Amino acid sequence: MNKLIGASWKMNMTPTEATAWFAVAVPELVSITDRELFVLPPFPALAAARDALRATSIGWGAQDVHPDESGAHTGDVSAAMLADLGCHYVEIGHSERRRDHREGSELLAAKVAATRRWRMTPILCVGERRRGSIEEATPTIVRQLRGALGALPPAELDEVVVAYEPVWAIGVGAAVAPADHIAAAHRLIRRWLEGRLATRVSVIYGGSVDPSNAASILCLPGVDGLFVGRAALDPRAFVQIAGTKCIEEEG
């Protein structure tokens, strides 16, 4: 399985700025053929992503979705609309949406289901809020997995990506989680998935990923890829992260 490396821009970049980002990044990214790459811009820049990426193998997608197909939901965007734009991925359950929009398990499970109805890949974000041991983090991570994915049959579960993003490692001033904690969290997530008979799910890490630490995280056992936040706003930094290789890969 190729490593999966993607970026979520959050509420950054206008369509014009996104077009400029792609003009810098895409000529370099298309030469990286041993990775699966994706970019999640804000909704207004999705068309710019489609135009820049549709002739490449780089995926694009959205940072949220409404669970209903259509209707009186002013300001929301449906999975059908995203699929029509050619989206491959939909980010679901990021800690900022859980916090700012009070998104809980029932809603997140419905968003996962809507995304799969339109054959897009949900990227479910899970992670504990407070820094502590993996034993302290386990109940939160398992609850989030069960709440959003527990109703999926194994065949559908294998079409999901899980992004482990400890909340305390996200944002300006935060630092990447320690290597042993990342590895332990990925083992925990993998055990839960295997207990549901899902064996092909990519489990990726997000939280203060940047060019200085990408290689060391990517080389950890059980880490299938990286989910990059603010560092990816610099197209050259994202190119550098996307091309990161472990020592084993270089050999």
- Report whether 91 contacts 64 (CB < 8 A): yes
The two three-digit tokens of residue 213, written as one number: 């630490």
Active-site residue, 181 included: no
Residue 164 CA to chain centroid, in angstroms?
9
Burial 231-247 (b: 16+ CB within 10 A, else e): bbbbbebbbbbbbbbee
**Residue from 66, 94, 181, 186 carrying the catalytic annotation:** 94
- Quick one: residue 13, left, alpha or beta (phi over 0 = left, psi -120 to 50 = alpha)? left
Active-site residue, 94 included: yes
Give CA–CA dist 231/116, Å, rounded.
Answer: 29
**Residue from 36, 91, 103, 165 carrying the catalytic annotation:** 165
Expressed in angstroms, the distance from the first to the final Cα of the chain is 18
Beta-carbon contacts of 15 under 8 Å, excluding residues fewer than 6 positions away, are 44, 45, 47, 48
Residues labelled catalytic: 94, 165
